[in-house]
């Protein structure tokens, strides 16, 4: 009885297939080509020779919608990773056979396939985008090197990749991009040294302007109160060197009352 039961189970497993790992039986029967043709079947059908797309019993060439997306078939066989032409348009199917949309880099060139479910090629892509290789800047489909304005600031890209904390040269000028990738301006300390990049939106490095001694407001006196809480009177050796004035005073007593002490030199 045990031997007979074992023989029966082996026969059943051979007919329907038996997934030992999951313990579930799975149907593996496939239609013969003659049956599909005779019955004019349509769809993605399994046969002893593999899976094919049929239309009225014939192996089909072209796009078909299946499981939520579009696939391209040639003589019934699903095609992967390739350019396709249909209805006067150009398309691309990925390595899973799906028609792509959005921006996609293919063999080093970025293309745009739209985002409205139509999938056809619009042309080579430009701008800052993720075309399947991470966020990069493209110009005419190629990874770009140079400055570009993006969201109100200038960034430097090298082979499409945004750079940061680096010196860059363009148009015969020298620039620096900071930790956020933006070109810096004004006074900057880089590597322990001070540099000046202007403050008029041009961003290139230039000599710092000579410091100017601020004029004393006539109504507030001639005594300078500096940020180190020292006050400097005219004639003092440090008076003209003090260009960053926190507060002006009419008299020394006014400065003392405000908490300042007289500079000794």
- CB-based contacts of 22, cutoff 8 Å, min separation 6: none
Does the pLDDT value for residue 132 go beyond 90?
yes
Cα–Cα distance for residue pair 116/118, rounded to 1 Å: 6
Average pLDDT over residues 253-258: 93
Output the pLDDT for position 25.
34
Does the pLDDT value for residue 7 go beyond 60?
no
Output the pLDDT for position 182.
95
Output the pLDDT for position 213.
57
Please tell me whether the overall predicted TM-score, pTM, comes out greater than 0.75 for this model.
no
> Where in the chain do CATH 2.10.270.10 domains reside?
145-196
What percentage of the chain carries pLDDT values higher than 70?
Answer: 85
The answer to whether the CB of 33 falls within 8 A of the CB of 47 is yes
Cα–Cα distance for residue pair 186/100, rounded to 1 Å: 46
Q: Which fold has domain 145-196?
A: left handed beta-beta-3-solenoid (2.10.270)
Q: What is the pLDDT of residues 148-168, one digit of tens each?
A: 999 989 999 999 999 999 999
Output the pLDDT for position 91.
97
The residue count of the chain comes to 265
Output the pLDDT for position 75.
96
Q: What is the pLDDT of residues 83-123, one digit of tens each?
A: 999 999 999 999 999 999 999 999 999 999 999 999 999 99
- Nearest partner of 163 among 141, 151, 185, 148, judged by Cα: 148
pLDDT band at 16 (very low <50, low <70, confident <90, very high): very low
Output the pLDDT for position 98.
95
Take residue 126 and report the two structure tokens written for it: 């430009």
Output the pLDDT for position 61.
96
Q: What is the pLDDT of residues 220-255, one digit of tens each?
A: 788 999 988 999 998 888 888 888 888 899 999 999
Does the pLDDT value for residue 80 go beyond 70?
yes
Helix (H, G, I), strand (E, B) or coil at 16: helix
Output the pLDDT for position 136.
98
Give the least confident one: 25-29, 34-38, 207-211, 215-219.
25-29
Does the pLDDT value for residue 29 go beyond 60?
no
Output the pLDDT for position 243.
81
Take residue 220 and report the two structure tokens written for it: 């507030």
Give the least confident one: 18-22, 51-55, 136-140, 176-180.
18-22
Average pLDDT over residues 35-42: 92
Cα–Cα distance for residue pair 112/138, rounded to 1 Å: 11
């Amino acid at each position: 009885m045990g031997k007979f039961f074992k023989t029966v189970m082996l026969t059943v497993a051979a007919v329907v297939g038996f997934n030992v790992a999951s313990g579930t039986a799975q149907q593996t029967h496939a239609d013969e080509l003659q049956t599909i043709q005779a019955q004019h079947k349509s769809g993605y059908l399994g046969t002893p020779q593999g899976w094919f797309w049929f239309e009225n019993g014939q192996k089909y060439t072209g796009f078909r919608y299946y499981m939520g997306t579009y696939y391209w078939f040639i003589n019934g066989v699903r095609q992967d990773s390739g350019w396709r032409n249909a209805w006067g348009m150009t398309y691309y199917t990925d390595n899973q056979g799906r028609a792509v949309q959005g921006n996609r880099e293919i063999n080093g060139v970025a293309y745009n396939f739209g985002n409205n479910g139509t999938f056809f090629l619009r042309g080579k892509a430009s701008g800052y985008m993720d075309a399947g290789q991470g966020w990069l800047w493209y110009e005419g489909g190629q990874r770009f090197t140079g400055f570009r304005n993006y969201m109100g600031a200038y960034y430097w890209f090298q082979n499409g990749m945004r750079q940061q904390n680096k010196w860059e040269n363009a148009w015969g000028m020298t620039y620096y991009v900071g930790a956020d990738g933006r070109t810096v301006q004004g006074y900057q300390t880089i590597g322990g040294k001070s540099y000046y990049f202007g403050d008029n939106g041009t961003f290139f490095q230039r000599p710092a302007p000579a410091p100017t001694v601020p004029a004393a407001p006539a109504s507030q006196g001639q005594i300078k109160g500096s940020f180190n809480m020292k006050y400097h009177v005219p004639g003092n050796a440090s008076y003209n060197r003090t260009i960053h004035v926190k507060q002006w005073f009419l008299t020394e007593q006014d400065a003392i009352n405000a908490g300042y002490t007289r500079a000794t030199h």
